Amino acid sequence: MDKFTYLTGGLSLEAANKVLILLHGRGGSASDMLNFIKGLKADDFALIAPQAINNSWYPYSFLEAQKNDSSLNLALVFLDQIILELESSGFKKTQCYFLGFSQGACLTLEYTTRNAAKYGGIIAFTGGLIGNTIMKARYNGNFEATPVFIGSSDPDIHVPVERVRNSAKLMTLMGANVNTIIYQNMGHTINEDEIMHCNAILAKDKL
């Protein structure tokens, strides 16, 4: 595989009023995310699950800066193309939701914060903004009270709790309604409480 692709699921774009973009973690896949979503309350969504090249959005730790820039920029452009396609199909950003796990959660937060707007919702299972430091100059726009859930473990082997909290703080300053929960010794996984908070966001505009 030498280029980004994506899988679809759920309702067709013609039938749906909401779209959920699902971003897998390192070593994961688009099909993994479509299987995971079956346990969530997303029956009224069109689903788009992007697939990273070689199952990784960028090669190094999300705390690296220049080493990841080339791959990360390609991934960000790919997400931008997906949003532009959705907008050309008549969807507003308020109808677009993001959900990511681990590396996919980092990409979710990085993309939406670089392009802050009123989205339908943002869900990050163990993630933070990308880079050795948070460079505020990269991030623009206003979330206009977009609901955001960020869940993570203390400790987590890949994502420092301080980065999670600092990412949430910046998003809050940019107008997001952020709910951050740090679970003690959860490990690098997703628990039932996180699923509950995720479903609350997904169901907030249920038709």
pLDDT tens, residue by residue, 81-134: 999 999 999 999 999 999 999 999 999 999 999 999 999 999 999 999 999 999
Q: Distances in Å between the alpha carbon of 204 and those of 95, 191, 199?
A: 11, 21, 8
In 17-143, DSSP assigns E strands to 18-23, 45-51, 96-101, 121-125
> What are the domain boundaries of the chain?
5-202
Distance CA 168, CA 118 (A): 16
pLDDT tens, residue by residue, 29-88: 999 999 999 989 999 999 999 999 999 999 999 999 889 999 999 999 999 999 999 999
> Rounded to two decimals, what is the model's pTM?
0.96
Residue among 70, 73, 121 at smallest CA distance from 100:
121
| CATH hierarchy code of domain 5-202 | 3.40.50.1820
Distance CA 129, CA 113 (A): 8
Q: Tokens standing for 204?
A: 């907030």
Distance CA 143, CA 198 (A): 18
